[in-house]
Structure 1
Amino acid sequence: MHNHDHTNSSKRIGWAFFLNLCFTVIEFIGGWLTSSTAIMADAVHDLGDSLSIGLAWVLSKVSEKGSNNDFTYGYRRLSLLGALVNGLVLIAGSVWVLSEAIPKLLQPEMPLVEGMLGLAILGVIVNGFSAYKLSHGKTLNEKVLNWHLLEDVLGWVAVLIVSIVLLFVDWPILDPALSIVFTLYIVFNVGKNLWSTTRLFLQATPDKTLSESLHRSLSSLEDVRSVHHLHLWSLDGEHHVLTAHLVLQRALTLEQQLSLKRAIADRLGEFELAHTTIEFEFEEEACRDASVI
């Protein structure tokens, strides 16, 4: 049953990827032909979503391989690399759109409104259909991507409204103004995500509150005197890894150690961690990682 759900999820993400990639190419061509910077800005946005969807699709395939001797934690961390590349591509595209749009505020040019209107209608249909396909999914990947596609639908609705206004009013400045609003929105969100992704890539603690809760939970165990070298990092922002050294109150028999390990498993089970490594130490024992930061 799980494999069937995974296959359906992969198919839905694949459909969404090919639809958005093809439409992104149409957008760039259409934006150039209609001289619409608003469409170019949305094309950059859709390019980012196509990259995100494509990455999610590839990872859904690669993740089936699991871990091996080369990648002992599996391949989930590739998503962070993909997110970094995705963010840099979007930032570069946004800078290009702004370099085109800002001069047009001073000397606005009327775009080919009929073509702009047609692309807007097509954009609502394509992105709406993709969002509809992914709305049937239950995986986290599909839910996150669905929100991206719904944002695209709203963006194309805005382009549609502006193109209808331009059919009746000679306000060419609306086109570059809309593209600048789109682009600043992209830069703001991509900037936040890029910073978060970079922190995770550098193995920063993904959640300080979670780290503190883990420390308190382990420290409160009956036979534990203290906890040190607690390290919490994340494979991909969702699957976290924990390592910690526990200093014991006293020497424990094998049976007592097994009992403590079961208690630790119960405590850590509340946090849904992907991987955990716990080491026992005695109070008089020198920690071999004492010199390691």
Structure 2
Amino acid sequence: MSHDHAHHVGGDRRRLAIAFAITASVLVVQAVGGVLTGSLALLADAGHMASDAIALAVALVASIVAARPATSRHTFGFQRVEVLAALVNGLLLAGVAVSVGSEGIRRLLEPGDGEVLAAPMLLVAGAGLLANVIALLVLRGGDRGSLNLRGAYLEVLGDLLGSIAAIAAGLVILTTGFMPADAIASLVIAGLILPRAMLLLRDVVRVLTESAPHDTDVEQIREHLEGADGVVAVHDVHVWAITSGNPVFTAHVVVEPGIFERGEASELLDRLGGCLRGHFDVEHSTFQLEPAGHAEREEHAHR
């Protein structure tokens, strides 16, 4: 693991630890408040915050495991554990959305399930909103480079939006007495959570299936390498990510015969690796240099 990536992971751990402490502290308040006020929106928000706490704990453990060095059995290290943690977070988000949505529909179809105490509901939802804003500020920035942290960020973002929905429902009930506003708010919360869960799971699947990162243009990289002095062609290109923000590149590079004759293979490898680092932010690259005749003999194996 590079020094920059190790520093990045250390920063992730600090963010996750602070966000977990905030979330766990407010969870009890929201759960008790939901029961005492009879608000489904608050209980939905508490349920989402419970999934937040679990997801943040999983993400925190994953970031610690991911920092372990590579071994002879795990040659790339344990960074992919972060992706598995993001998978757990995505599934938790989807599960909470389905559960909250189904209960909201049930309450709309079966009105008169009990009165919602709007004033206490507003106080609890306001406390939840404040906690989520703080947690979101702590996590902000790290979500751009880590799927694991992005999953945690989306968890907290969905909960923040849920708190806003709960506050809106409380205000409607307090001013108009319209009790179904609580169930409607819970459906809004579910609708906000589910798309984010699907997007996170999509990115996880992209990494686990070793697809090229979405911001990587393989043909552009190939053309760039083929423009290097001494390079005739580039083929058998593979680009994937061990975890988000850590792409890996391998390729066979056909070179001019003079490269080997003049002993310039090492220099060419340095130039190609520097090209990927400087232009495409790829730290881990592997090249197999081949004379033109070798590539022609093995062409059937690469196309």
- TM above 0.5: yes
Q: Between the two proteins, what is the percent identity of the paired residues?
A: 28
Distance 1:75 1:147 in 2: 23
Distance 1:81 1:273 in 2: 22
Q: Aligned to 2:265, which of 251, 257, 265?
A: 257
AA in 1 matched with 2:76: Y
Of 173-182 and 140-149, the range deviating more from structure 2: 140-149
How far apart are residue 178 of structure 1 and its match?
A: 1.1
2:13 aligned partner: 10
Distance 1:44 1:254 in 2: 67
AA in 2 matched with 1:111: V
Distance 2:179 2:55 in 1: 32
CA-to-aligned-CA distance 1:130-156 (integer Å, 9 cap, x gap): 345556989956985567645533432
1:237 aligned partner: 244
Contact 2:40 / 2:182 at 8 angstroms: preserved in 1? yes
2:186 aligned partner: 179
Distance 1:99 1:223 in 2: 63
1:130 aligned partner: 135
Q: Aligned to 1:268, which of 265, 276, 284?
A: 276
CA-to-aligned-CA distance 1:122-175 (integer Å, 9 cap, x gap): 202322333455569899569855676455334323322321231221111111
Alignment map for 1:172-211 (pairs within 5 Å): 172-207=179-214, 209-211=216-218
Unaligned runs of 5+ in 1: none
Distance change in 2, residues 1:143/1:8 (3 Å): closer
Distance 2:10 2:83 in 1: 23
How far apart are residue 37 of structure 1 and its match?
A: 2.3
How far apart are residue 119 of structure 1 and its match?
A: 1.7
Distance 1:95 1:154 in 2: 17
Distance change in 2, residues 1:99/1:68 (3 Å): same
Contact 1:44 / 1:94 at 8 angstroms: preserved in 2? no
SS of corresponding position for 2:228: coil
Of 128-137 and 231-240, the range deviating more from structure 2: 128-137
How far apart are residue 10 of structure 1 and its match?
A: 3.4
Q: Aligned to 2:163, which of 153, 156, 168?
A: 156
> Does residue 279 in structure 1 map to residue 288 in structure 2?
yes
1:63 aligned partner: 66
Distance change in 2, residues 1:97/1:131 (3 Å): closer
CA-to-aligned-CA distance 1:52-108 (integer Å, 9 cap, x gap): 432342233223322122221121111111111221222222222122111222333
Distance 1:172 1:21 in 2: 29
Distance change in 2, residues 1:135/1:224 (3 Å): closer
How far apart are residue 17 of structure 1 and its match?
A: 0.7
Contact 1:55 / 1:79 at 8 angstroms: preserved in 2? no
AA in 2 matched with 1:84: L
Contact 2:94 / 2:197 at 8 angstroms: preserved in 1? yes
Distance 1:205 1:4 in 2: 25
Distance change in 2, residues 1:5/1:235 (3 Å): closer
Distance change in 2, residues 1:18/1:279 (3 Å): same
Q: Aligned to 1:96, which of 99, 102, 108?
A: 99
Provide TM-score, normalisation by structure 1: 0.84
